[in-house]
Structure 1
Amino acid sequence: MQNTISDFWQMVWQEQIHVIALVNNHLDVCKVLQNVSMHYWPDSNDCVKETDKFMITLLSTKVYASFAIRHINVYNKEISESYDITHLEFNSWLGNVMPNPFDLVIYHNYVTRAMEKYPDSKLLVHCSSGIGPTAVIIALDALYKHGLVTGVINVQEFTRKMRNDRIGMIQNLDQYICLYKCLNECFRAKMCVVTKDELQNEPILLRANNEFCILLSMISGFRNDEHSLPCKQDLECEYEIPKGMNREDMLIQNQLGQHCGILLSSFTTKDCIIAGSYPSHGEAADLIRHLIDQKCSTLVSVNPLCDVPYSKEWYCIDPSDDLTKFQVEVIKGPKVSQHVSLSTLRMRIHSTQNWHQVTVYQITSWGLMEKLPPDTCALLDVIKIIQLDKSCGSNTDFVVLSRYNHLIFYVEENKRYQPNKL
């Protein structure tokens, strides 16, 4: 509350807190306090929040897909001393809706890394209630560390101990299940951070092989058939959704029909990438409706569309008769690099006058039946081109099509990319 902000910073200074973990969106906290503009740090770098004893300055803010990291300076006016604090806000926990466990695991990983700089300091964890998301992250941190050392954990016993200290820790069954899912993700594949120098100097093939073997072990039943395109039945039966993720969470439920898509986040923007396989025969209308409904501005084809079966049903001068509800136009463009060609796909529903335009990028050097592109510059080219494309905004969905809907790459605003989390 407004009248306890000074007490909050007094506690931070007294305990010499260097890392603060806010485990839900600060807007939820403001709603609880019935003040949408009230939080205990400044709104921008130009502002200073001042109490009777402290001056709080926001030094920097980095926003990621599911959380934000702020660096804050706390200045004690009485003794003219200050120090910096790392503030991590997990903004994907909204109200009573449980977050994606994988997002929470990534957030916990960043909190852990921040704490490694101050091994003797205490971690300050809080949320709107103090007993829900706070309890989940405390239990996740303690049980994961305990499990790494002993090989066993007891979630029920640890929850009981937390409730002995504070009544109601972990408020409901959904939060309890969320904790289990997060622990499951943590123990299945240990996450680690590699610097650019380490990546360049260490034996990369050995590291990549070891990590990919771990990822493959997390997926059972997937058939890697290099000589045929998957049909709808293949996607439903042969590909098993990873544990901790629901098919309902991964499929776009917006009248996609048989054309499935997986909604993913980039490094900095949540739910902005839709990965899908090429439409099969008769699925062209589903893809067009999907592009319109999701307001997608960009489509990336990992392979040249002229080699993709049934692409002429939607990507050609005279589209298939199956597109009776839509009018589609293809405007051929130039080849923007050695590996990437550009074109424009215009579409509208016949009953409306509003045209929707999608920029199409094709990697022309990656053959449909090739496991890898002959030149990795093809991937780098298309990533750089999309970054420079002003029509592809940071909050705009774009689609990546390939032989399999799990074969995608991420486009990052900070010129970084990584493979899809499996």
Structure 2
Amino acid sequence: MIWQENIHQIVMVTNLVEGIKTKCEQYWPCGGKQMVHGNLIIRLNAEKERTAYVTREISIEDKKSGKKRNVTQYHFTAWPDHGTPDPLYLVLFHRHVISDSKAGHSGPLLVHCSAGIGRTGTYIALDALLEEGRTTGFLDIFKFLKKMRYSRMNMIQTSNQYVCLHYALLEAFTMKDTKIRKDEFSEVWQSIRTDHKALNHQRLNKEFKMLNATKDDQNHNQYNAAMSTTNLAKNRNKDVLPMDDKRVYLVSYGKGRSDYINAVQVPSYTKFVGYITTQLPLPDTKVDFWTMIRDHSSSTIVLIINNANEADLVYSQSGNELTIGQFGIKISAREEVENNITKTTIVLSRKDDKPRQVVLFQAICNSIPDPIVLCKLADLISTRATMSNDPITVVSSDGAKNCGLFCAFANAVSSMQIDNHADIFQLVRLLQLRRPEFFTDFEEYKRCYEALHLHLESANVYANF
């Protein structure tokens, strides 16, 4: 069908397996191999993974005629088995698809999920209604749904999908274009740095105001665990609490402890759980911190603190061995890196478990880390992230300030490496879905731009682009 209908783009909005059900057979080969279907030879030429989707470049060759074609598959992986995706993820995915459309290809867009009606109908409606709204200035969502169902029954299968479509369209129509290409970032940063207009008219200030305007109003009912009498004293800052559906759960907690820790999972540029962000432990929650490190197999810690003494709440800066609850912590190596960054290698052991190695990078800064410190930390964790799939634990005083800055900056660096552009505004919004208290300080937002400019400049990226 793809060959016959001259299709060059495929949008796939299901995972191959969800829960225990197979939703779709893998119709493309793994890298380095080929697949033969009838007269057609299929090869996977390239694959790029992001948080919510994967893009694949696939070539198809007709054995009879010898003709070849290239097809791009956009595989959205963030649609939950039961429910609907966050509209922001869906709209950013759609934006990538339409911006990547190949000029001169007349074939239709192929959209599929498992049954080809629910998620498929939702995506088609988003694509078609967005174009219609921009062309005519009007929308009739219900009318378009009926029109789709004349062609294929039950398109948009559930009321939740219908509601999700409305939110996605609202997001798509109001979303500003804040993406910056690698080759233009230096110029954009210089214009930001030399912008002397009134504060309300400056680019970054307007973006920061939009960030606050687009935050969801959080319901206090979402913080039941954090605000319970058992757990309230475990929070450093009563204004920075994890939501019930976003918090990290402890699994192997000991007697007298609970599954609660003030920590949330946040995405990297390529994974939904790329980081765990948490507050500096309190004297009573040190054991919870190391339980989390063990339970979630985190082998890298980034510790951003205001003074050296705070590090003793995590490990010992003087002794080489200590015991925290059921954990034995042994320092096997200490190393001064540069820019006031230290690297400590820790062996974490517990009676019922084999010892595991954890590497901790510590940066001391008065308020916000300098751009050069952020660049160095990002380089250090990048090397380790390529070696394992473990989440990286990022620690700051309250688990929000500097944690969000570091994660957003590291994600922007990855975005530049993978896609040759970065959208700091949207990267921050995706983090704020998990913890709205990220980036309450304008200086953090500005520092993210400044550090990314330094990273590109120091890597000589501008000159080599």
Same fold (TM over 0.5): yes
2:372 alignment counterpart: 377
Question: In 1, Cα distance between the equivalents of 2:168 and 2:109?
Answer: 19
1:73 pairs, out of 46, 59, 78, with: 59
Residues 62-101 of structure 1 aligned to structure 2 (within 5 Å): 62-93=48-79, 95-96=81-82, 98-101=84-87
Structure 1 residue 344, shift from structure 2 partner: 2.8
Question: In 2, Cα distance between the equivalents of 1:29 and 1:362?
Answer: 39
Percent pairwise identity: 26
Residues 197-346 of structure 1 aligned to structure 2 (within 5 Å): 197-202=183-188, 203-205=191-193, 206-219=202-215, 231-236=236-241, 247-254=243-250, 259-303=261-305, 306-308=308-310, 311-316=311-316, 323-330=324-331, 333-346=334-347
Q: Would you say the 8 A contact 1:115–1:123 is kept in 2?
A: no
1:16 alignment counterpart: 6
1:357 alignment counterpart: 357
Are the structure 2 counterparts of residues 152 and 403 from structure 1 closer, same or farther at C-alpha, using a change threshold of 3 Å? farther
2:393 pairs, out of 399, 402, 417, with: 399
Structure 1 residue 154, shift from structure 2 partner: 4.3
Question: In 2, Cα distance between the equivalents of 1:94 and 1:258?
Answer: 24
1:42 pairs, out of 7, 25, 29, with: 29
Are the structure 2 counterparts of residues 23 and 118 from structure 1 closer, same or farther at C-alpha, using a change threshold of 3 Å? farther
Q: Deviations over 1:371-396 (max 9, x none)?
A: x33x3111111111122237x74410
Q: Would you say the 8 A contact 1:188–1:218 is kept in 2?
A: no
2:447 alignment counterpart: none
Question: In 1, Cα distance between the equivalents of 2:281 and 2:96?
Answer: 38
Q: Deviations over 1:42-84 (max 9, x none)?
A: 33333142423x3333222222232221112233445443332
Question: In 2, Cα distance between the equivalents of 1:93 and 1:331?
Answer: 43
Question: In 1, Cα distance between the equivalents of 2:358 and 2:393?
Answer: 10
Q: Would you say the 8 A contact 1:45–1:60 is kept in 2?
A: no
Q: Would you say the 8 A contact 2:19–2:81 is kept in 1?
A: no
Are the structure 2 counterparts of residues 80 and 357 from structure 1 closer, same or farther at C-alpha, using a change threshold of 3 Å? closer
Q: Would you say the 8 A contact 1:295–1:397 is kept in 2?
A: yes
Question: In 1, Cα distance between the equivalents of 2:387 and 2:248?
Answer: 20
Are the structure 2 counterparts of residues 324 and 22 from structure 1 closer, same or farther at C-alpha, using a change threshold of 3 Å? closer
1:386 alignment counterpart: 381
Question: In 1, Cα distance between the equivalents of 2:109 and 2:37?
Answer: 23
Equivalent pairs counted in the alignment come to 382
Q: Deviations over 1:66-117 (max 9, x none)?
A: 2221112233445443332211112333644544443323322221122264
Q: Would you say the 8 A contact 1:334–1:341 is kept in 2?
A: yes
The range that moved more, 406-415 or 206-215, is 406-415
Q: Deviations over 1:296-342 (max 9, x none)?
A: 1011012356253xx534322579x9943433344561111224211
The range that moved more, 130-139 or 252-261, is 252-261
Q: What is the letter of the counterpart of residue 373 of structure 2?
A: A
Matched position secondary structure for 1:344 = strand
Q: What is the letter of the counterpart of residue 207 of structure 2?
A: E
Are the structure 2 counterparts of residues 81 and 263 from structure 1 closer, same or farther at C-alpha, using a change threshold of 3 Å? same
The range that moved more, 124-133 or 77-86, is 77-86
Are the structure 2 counterparts of residues 347 and 77 from structure 1 closer, same or farther at C-alpha, using a change threshold of 3 Å? closer
Q: What is the letter of the counterpart of residue 340 of structure 1?
A: I
Task: Indicate whether 1:56 and 2:42 are aligned.
Answer: yes
Q: What is the letter of the counterpart of residue 402 of structure 1?
A: S
2:88 pairs, out of 91, 96, 102, with: 102
Structure 1 residue 218, shift from structure 2 partner: 1.9
Question: In 1, Cα distance between the equivalents of 2:397 and 2:177?
Answer: 28
Question: In 1, Cα distance between the equivalents of 2:138 and 2:398?
Answer: 37
Question: In 1, Cα distance between the equivalents of 2:87 and 2:250?
Answer: 24
Task: Indicate whether 1:163 and 2:149 are aligned.
Answer: yes
Normalised TM-score (structure 1): 0.77
Question: In 1, Cα distance between the equivalents of 2:110 and 2:388?
Answer: 32
Matched position secondary structure for 1:13 = coil
Q: What is the letter of the counterpart of residue 376 of structure 1?
A: P
Q: Would you say the 8 A contact 2:281–2:314 is kept in 1?
A: no
Structure 1 residue 219, shift from structure 2 partner: 3.0
Q: Would you say the 8 A contact 2:53–2:77 is kept in 1?
A: yes
Q: Deviations over 1:217-267 (max 9, x none)?
A: 223789xxxxxxx8342124xxxx9xxxxx344211335755322212211
| Structure 2: tracts of 5 or more residues without a match | 194-201, 219-234, 252-257, 433-465
Question: In 2, Cα distance between the equivalents of 1:75 and 1:221?
Answer: 52
Structure 1 residue 30, shift from structure 2 partner: 12
Normalised TM-score (structure 2): 0.71
1:125 pairs, out of 95, 108, 111, with: 111
Q: What is the letter of the counterpart of residue 389 of structure 1?
A: R
**More helix by percentage:** 2
Matched position secondary structure for 1:315 = coil
Q: Would you say the 8 A contact 2:34–2:44 is kept in 1?
A: yes
| Structure 1: tracts of 5 or more residues without a match | 1-7, 223-229, 242-246
How big is the alpha-carbon RMSD for the aligned residues of Structure 1 and Structure 2?
A: 3.5
Residues 125-164 of structure 1 aligned to structure 2 (within 5 Å): 125-148=111-134, 153-164=139-150
Question: In 2, Cα distance between the equivalents of 1:182 and 1:138?
Answer: 12
Are the structure 2 counterparts of residues 204 and 326 from structure 1 closer, same or farther at C-alpha, using a change threshold of 3 Å? same
